[in-house]
């Protein structure tokens, strides 16, 4: 009697070859990154074509002295930012201002200006209170929508929540107010631009000492692409490969079941061998995809002279997480597929399967802002999320993840994967020959626990 490993590997080999020889796999290998990357490319393209239509802004100046300074500050800013310094292409809209005196009926005036905004004759209007110069320093916005009382300066606009103009105008208004304040303090108006000029703040990592030579290494300048793009990219890659490798398992098992292939195989291999063979076949597919992307990506970065950005140190972790994630998700998918009465049932369950990959995507911003905070640490040690979130933290340059955390995370993931494989094998064994009935969740849980 030959051994179990041989049968598992034989099934894995068949499934692996059957998958990688399909046109769908080869096309998917190319299309998946295009789909993921296409979104970013689209955003970049849209950003390269900004809306440069002239924007007219009305200012109602209750103070009587601030509007002129605001307009001057805005025009100086506008003149500086209007054109790209390299291409000389206009990259910002031209802002044109008009000043209005405060009306006897402020409500009617606001309504009239609002109508002009609605009819696109104005982009926005700004109302400056008479007390603006003596107003206390601004505090953080509480975001309380019920608090609709305007402050010392209010901007009225019909634009969306992510309107860049608001930030730009806010900067110009504050600039203008500072100018008036400084002028009142006796600063020479001709020197105001120098006084208010910003300086560039460079960000560096930390200085370190070579443990062998004792030599002190200067800190290197932080690179935004490396800081954000690389961790995000490698996490995206892991998620993409895991999804590409594991999501077909659900429909593959359901189809094998629907086409009555399973019982033939069960005459020759045990349900566990059949499931593990399929899981390892999918793992082989994922490793092939990852090799394609990792080698291709590394060569591409080298070609662009950016090889220093390739996070070689996290590659072993990347593969450890990839293997654990694919085995866990594929086992889960095989169990769900075995329980499905039809391919339609399987499609409905696909979203459940994608949750451990998709949910971490929604946490990216939070984790990147506080990579070593308590919540980030806890989330990245939660086994279903560990592969994605721990890898994200590890791939952040100078992320400072304590050395023990990836190891604890990996042990947790491996233990979780083992439990899932055992539970999935039990469900698979019972459910795979059921026909004409989709088991209830309670039944699946009972089979997972008792077999």
Partner 1 sequence: MDAVQISNVTKTFGAVTAVDDLSLVVPEGSVYGFIGPNGSGKTTTMRMIASIFYPDRGDVRVFGRQMLGARSELIGYLPEERGLYRKMTVQALLEFYGELRSGRKVTAEVESWLKKLDLAKWASQKVQTLSKGMSQKVQFIAAVVPAPRLLILDEPFSGLDPVSADTLRSAILDLRRGGVTVILSTHDMHVAENMCDYICMIFRGRKVLDGTLASIQDQYGIDTIRVAADGGAQFLDGLPDVERVRDFGQVQELRMARGCDPQQVLRTLIERTRVTSFSIMKPSLHDIFVRIAGPEAGEAQIA
For 157-162, the CB contacts below 8 A with 24+ separation are 157/117, 157/123, 157/124, 158/117, 158/118, 158/124, 159/123, 159/124
CB of 329 to partner 1, least distance (A): 24
Select 265 or 314, whichever has its Cβ closest to partner 1: 265
Cα–Cα distance, 181 to 187 (Å, whole number): 9
Select 268 or 352, whichever has its Cβ closest to partner 1: 268
Select 242 or 424, whichever has its Cβ closest to partner 1: 424
Q: In what order do the strands lie in the sheet with 153-157?
A: 95-100, 55-61, 124-128, 153-157
CB of 243 closer than 8 Å to CB of 354: yes
Select 227 or 443, whichever has its Cβ closest to partner 1: 443
Enumerate residues 6+ apart whose C-beta is below 8 A from 132.
Answer: 62, 63, 66, 152, 153, 177
CB of 340 closer than 8 Å to CB of 349: yes
Select 175 or 273, whichever has its Cβ closest to partner 1: 273
CB of 384 closer than 8 Å to CB of 416: yes
Select 43 or 449, whichever has its Cβ closest to partner 1: 449
DSSP string, 119-162: TTS-SEEEEE-TTGGGPPPP------TT-----SEEEEE---TT
Select 402 or 451, whichever has its Cβ closest to partner 1: 451
Calculated CA dihedral for residues 137, 142, 145, 151, nearest 10 degrees? 0
Residue 214 gets the label, from left (phi > 0), alpha (psi -120 to 50) or beta, of left
Select 50 or 451, whichever has its Cβ closest to partner 1: 451
Select 19 or 377, whichever has its Cβ closest to partner 1: 19
CB of 335 to partner 1, least distance (A): 18
CB of 333 to partner 1, least distance (A): 19
CB of 282 to partner 1, least distance (A): 16
Cα–Cα distance, 287 to 241 (Å, whole number): 8
Backbone angles phi, psi at 149, to 5 degrees: -75, 125
Residue 94's nearest CA partner among 108, 112, 79, 109 is: 79
CB of 21 to partner 1, least distance (A): 9
CA 407 to each of CA 37, 61, 110, 247: distance values in angstroms, whole numbers, following the listed order: 31, 61, 61, 27
CB of 266 to partner 1, least distance (A): 5
CB of 371 to partner 1, least distance (A): 47
Backbone angles phi, psi at 382, to 5 degrees: -80, 115
Burial class (CB in 10 A: 0-12, 13-18, 19+), 215: exposed
CB of 341 to partner 1, least distance (A): 15
CB of 17 to partner 1, least distance (A): 10
CB of 260 to partner 1, least distance (A): 4
Select 99 or 270, whichever has its Cβ closest to partner 1: 270
Residues in the site for partner 1, rule: CB under 8 A?
1-3, 6-7, 10-11, 14, 18, 256, 259-270, 273, 433, 435
Residue 280's nearest CA partner among 5, 69, 93 is: 5
């Amino acid at each position: 009697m030959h051994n179990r490993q041989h049968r598992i590997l034989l099934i894995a080999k068949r499934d692996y070859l059957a998958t990688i020889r399909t046109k769908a796999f080869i096309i998917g290998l190319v299309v998946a990154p295009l789909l993921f990357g296409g979104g970013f490319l689209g955003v970049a393209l849209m950003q390269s074509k900004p809306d440069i239509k002239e924007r007219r802004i009305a200012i109602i100046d209750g103070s009587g002295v601030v509007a002129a300074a605001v307009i001057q500050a805005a025009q100086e800013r506008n003149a500086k930012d209007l054109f790209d310094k390299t291409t000389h292409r206009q990259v910002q809209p031209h802002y044109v201002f008009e000043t209005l005196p405060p009306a006897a009926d402020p409500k009617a005036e606001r309504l009239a200006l609002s109508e002009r905004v609605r009819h696109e004759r104005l982009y926005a209007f700004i109302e400056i209170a008479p007390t603006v110069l003596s107003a206390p320093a601004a505090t953080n916005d509480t975001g309380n929508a019920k608090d609709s009382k305007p402050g010392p300066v209010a901007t009225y606009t019909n634009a969306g929540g992510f309107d860049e103009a608001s930030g730009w105008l806010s900067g110009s208004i504050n600039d203008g107010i500072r100018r008036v304040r400084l002028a009142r303090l006796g600063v020479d108006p001709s020197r105001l631009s120098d006084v208010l000029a910003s300086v560039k703040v460079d960000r560096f990592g930390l200085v370190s000492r070579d443990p062998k030579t004792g030599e002190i290494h200067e800190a290197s300048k932080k690179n935004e692409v490396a800081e954000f793009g690389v961790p995000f990219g490698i996490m995206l890659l892991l998620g993409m490969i895991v999804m590409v490798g594991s999501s077909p398992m659900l429909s593959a098992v359901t189809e094998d079941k629907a086409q009555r292939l399973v019982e033939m195989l069960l005459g020759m291999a045990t349900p566990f061998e059949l499931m593990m063979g399929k899981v390892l076949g999918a793992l082989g597919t994922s490793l092939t995809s990852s090799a394609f992307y990792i080698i291709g990506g590394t060569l591409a970065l080298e070609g662009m002279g950016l090889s220093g950005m390739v996070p070689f140190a996290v590659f072993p972790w990347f593969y450890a997480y990839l293997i654990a994630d694919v085995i866990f998700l594929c086992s889960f998918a095989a169990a769900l597929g075995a329980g499905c009465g039809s391919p339609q049932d399987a499609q409905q369950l696909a979203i459940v399967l994608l949750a451990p990959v998709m949910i971490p995507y929604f946490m990216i911003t939070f984790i990147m802002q506080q990579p070593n905070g308590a919540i980030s640490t806890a989330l990245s040690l939660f086994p279903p999320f560990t592969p994605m979130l721990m890898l994200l933290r590890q791939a952040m340059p100078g992320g400072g993840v304590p050395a023990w955390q990836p190891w604890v995370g990996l042990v947790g993931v491996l233990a979780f994967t083992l439990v899932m494989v055992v539970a999935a094998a039990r469900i698979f064994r019972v459910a795979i020959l059921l026909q004409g009935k989709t088991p209830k969740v309670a039944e699946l849980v009972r089979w997972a626990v008792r077999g």
